[in-house]
Each structure stands twice: as C-alpha cells, then as structure tokens.
Amino acid sequence: MISYAPFWQTLRDSQESTYTLIKNHRISSSTIDKLRKNKPVNVTTINDLCRILNCNVADVMTYVPSEDDQIL
C-alpha cells in the first residue's frame, strides 16, 4: 500500500497548507482528499507536489506492505 503520511509531515514543515495548495497551486480538493485516504493519485500530481514543496518523492509517499495488497 502506498502511504502519503510523509506528505503530511512535509506539508507541516513547509510554508504551504492544504488551502494554499488548492488556492495558489491549483491542486484539487479531491486530490487532497485522496491523499488523506491513501487513495491512488497520478504521478503528475506527485511531481507537482515535489516541485511545490521542493522535496523528493520519498518526502511525499512511501510503500508499506499490507495484507490488502493485490496478489501478483
């Protein structure tokens, strides 16, 4: 499972907020909701967040093994 827990810490450590992401950077509120619920988001969105927050991908998301992962 992909977890966006690192994103929330990175956001807290930045000058940005969910409000500024939505209003100033045009990140949709539905995308913020997906991040809150660890739902899939587009790689372009991850790229945008990394650019806005001046961080690496690992500062936005991490892989956490889960029993709910799809069997390959």
CA nearest to 2, candidates 68, 46, 63:
63
Q: How many residues belong to the chain?
A: 72
Tell me the two tokens of residue 45: 């969105």
Domains, in order of start, for the chain:
2-63 (1.10.260)
Beta strands in 1-72 (DSSP E): 2-3, 62-63
**Neighbour-count burial of 48, counting CB atoms closer than 10 A to its CB (0-12 exposed, 13-18 middle, 19+ buried):** middle
Q: Does residue 67 carry a pLDDT above 90?
A: no
Per-residue confidence band for 68, with pLDDT thresholds at 50, 70 and 90 = confident
Q: Tens digit of pLDDT for each residue in 9-58? A: 999 999 999 999 999 999 999 999 999 999 999 999 999 999 999 999 99
CA nearest to 10, candidates 46, 64, 53:
53
